[in-house]
Amino acid sequence: MGRGPGQRQKPEQPEARLPRSVGEPQQTPHPALRLLNVGYGNLVLSSRVIAVVAPQSLPMRRLREEASNRGKLVDATQGRRTRSILVTDSDHVILSALNPETIAARLVTEGSEGSGAPE
């Protein structure tokens, strides 16, 4: 269809681009954005984890209860027994059904991947 007399052509607008982190994958993964599998498909940013502890002691039970009262408890056990507690730098407490040794091994493995330089 052609344009009739008196119809103006709309000026071309530049194509809207989304920020790189949303629209396009980065070429190299940022080390701060590595995800840690804490069991049953639940993932946590590994750079935010500051401690992985066993849940049996009374101080850890108190930590869990206080986090629940503050609304900062994340239960990633999928209804299974809690075997480890992860503490993040944002004061969130994450419950996991994996052993602390398993999570620690995953943290160490992820930390050594892609570093490129021997430490």
Which one-letter amino acid corresponds to residue 65?
A: E
- pLDDT at residue 99, rounded to an integer: 98
Higher pLDDT, 11 or 33: 33
Q: What is the pLDDT of residues 9-18, one digit of tens each?
A: 666 665 555 5
Which DSSP helix (H) or strand (E) runs through 44? strand 42-45
Q: What is the pLDDT of residues 79-115, one digit of tens each?
A: 999 999 999 999 999 999 999 999 999 999 876 665 4
What is the model's pTM? Answer: 0.68
Alpha-carbon distance 101 to 78, whole Å? Answer: 19
Domain boundaries in the chain? 49-112
